[in-house]
């Protein structure tokens, strides 16, 4: 309760503070993220519920998938909290890659997990979400609540509007998410609010080898794009090409 009161007071102070100081705080969030994450190599962001305990099948699956991706050289990034985020960072920590956690101040579920090699804490959800998607070449969505769904639809919107390109979105938990995808098809698509290709942005699967293989294919395509653009001398190209299969 004390923690919740502290955050309420902080929120009230933010409202009452001059707009210019709020701008500085927002800028500080972005500068921190850009500075700490700008040199990351190939990275996959894994989203999912903070409330998933260690006995849940999705916890063990997130650990397994993260370790599989990390074994292929991909850094793993999460929201830095417990549950699925902890599981993914745990899997990454078993391999020689970066295990990144981007945390945020919350009244509940805000504690950091112990499996990160790099962690940052943000004041604002929107700046944190930018960092979670900006430096990743694929997004993996495990079952979760409002926050996870928010992140899923944010990712879909960014890909649909071409604000990010070359990024694949994988949805894990066919039984969990099938009703949601049916709603998108039966309502949004049927009533002309999205296009058929918008549904094709998502891969609903529980096949982790397939996820890893598709990310490898995406890696190769991104390398080719950078080569065509004459960017072979960049740090990012070199980090991507270091994972290229011989």
pLDDT of residue 28: 86
> Quick one: which of 165, 171, 124, 105 has its CA closest to 30?
124
> Quick one: which of 115, 137, 114 has its CA closest to 40?
137
In this predicted structure, the answer to whether residue 1 has a pLDDT above a threshold of 60 is no
pLDDT of residue 52: 96
pLDDT of residue 151: 94
pLDDT of residue 17: 57
Among 14-23, 140-149, 161-170, 225-234, name the most confident range.
140-149
Over the stretch 225-234, which tens digit does the pLDDT of each residue have?
889 989 899 8
Q: Tokens representing 107?
A: 């009244």
Q: Give 145's pLDDT tier (boundaries 50, 70, 90).
A: very high
Say if residues 168 and 61 touch (Cβ distance below 8 Å): no
The CATH number given to 2-207 is: 3.40.50.450
Q: Give 14's pLDDT tier (boundaries 50, 70, 90).
A: low
> Quick one: which of 135, 156, 100, 93 has its CA closest to 240?
135
Instruction: For the chain, give percent helix, strand, coil, nearest 5.
Output: 55, 15, 35
Q: Give 235's pLDDT tier (boundaries 50, 70, 90).
A: confident
Separation of alpha carbons 205 and 81, rounded Å: 24
Strand order in the sheet with 168-171: 118-122, 99-104, 75-78, 43-47, 138-141, 168-171, 202-204
In this predicted structure, the answer to whether residue 18 has a pLDDT above a threshold of 80 is no
Average pLDDT of the chain is 89
pLDDT of residue 110: 58
Say if residues 13 and 105 touch (Cβ distance below 8 Å): no
CB atoms near residue 170 (< 10 Å): 23
pLDDT of residue 226: 87
In this predicted structure, the answer to whether residue 161 has a pLDDT above a threshold of 60 is yes
CB atoms near residue 224 (< 10 Å): 10
**Residue that wins the pLDDT comparison between 5 and 52:** 52
Over the stretch 117-130, which tens digit does the pLDDT of each residue have?
999 988 888 899 99
Give the burial class of 2: count Cβ atoms within 10 A of its Cβ; 0-12 exposed, 13-18 middle, 19 or more buried. Answer: exposed
Domain boundaries, the chain: 2-207
Residue 141 pairs in a beta bridge with 47, 171
In this predicted structure, the answer to whether residue 12 has a pLDDT above a threshold of 80 is no
Over the stretch 167-224, which tens digit does the pLDDT of each residue have?
999 999 999 999 999 999 999 999 999 999 999 999 999 999 999 999 999 999 889 9
Over the stretch 82-108, which tens digit does the pLDDT of each residue have?
999 999 999 999 999 999 999 987 655
pLDDT of residue 88: 98
């Amino acid at each position: 309760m004390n923690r919740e009161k502290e955050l309420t007071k902080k929120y009230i102070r933010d409202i009452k503070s001059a707009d210019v100081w709020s701008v500085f705080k927002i800028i500080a969030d972005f500068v921190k993220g850009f500075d700490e994450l700008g040199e990351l190599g190939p990275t996959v962001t894994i989203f999912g519920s903070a409330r998933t305990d260690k006995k849940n099948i999705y916890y063990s699956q997130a650990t397994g998938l993260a370790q599989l991706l990390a074994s292929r050289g991909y850094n793993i990034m999460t929201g830095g909290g417990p549950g699925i985020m902890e599981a993914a960072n745990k899997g990454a920590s078993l391999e020689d890659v970066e295990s990144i956690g981007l945390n945020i101040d919350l009244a509940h579920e805000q504690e950091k997990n112990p499996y990160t090699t790099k962690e940052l804490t943000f004041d604002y959800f929107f700046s944190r979400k930018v960092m979670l998607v900006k430096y990743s070449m694929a997004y993996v969505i495990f079952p979760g609540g409002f926050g996870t769904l928010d992140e899923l639809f944010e990712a879909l919107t960014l890909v649909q509007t071409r604000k990010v390109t070359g990024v694949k979105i994988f949805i894990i938990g066919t039984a969990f998410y099938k009703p949601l995808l049916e709603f998108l098809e039966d309502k949004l698509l049927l009533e002309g609010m999205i296009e058929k290709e918008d549904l094709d942005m998502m891969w609903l699967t529980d096949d982790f080898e397939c996820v890893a293989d598709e990310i490898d294919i995406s890696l190769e395509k991104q390398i080719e794009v950078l080569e065509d653009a004459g960017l072979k001398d960049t740090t990012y190209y070199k980090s991507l090409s270091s994972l290229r299969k011989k």
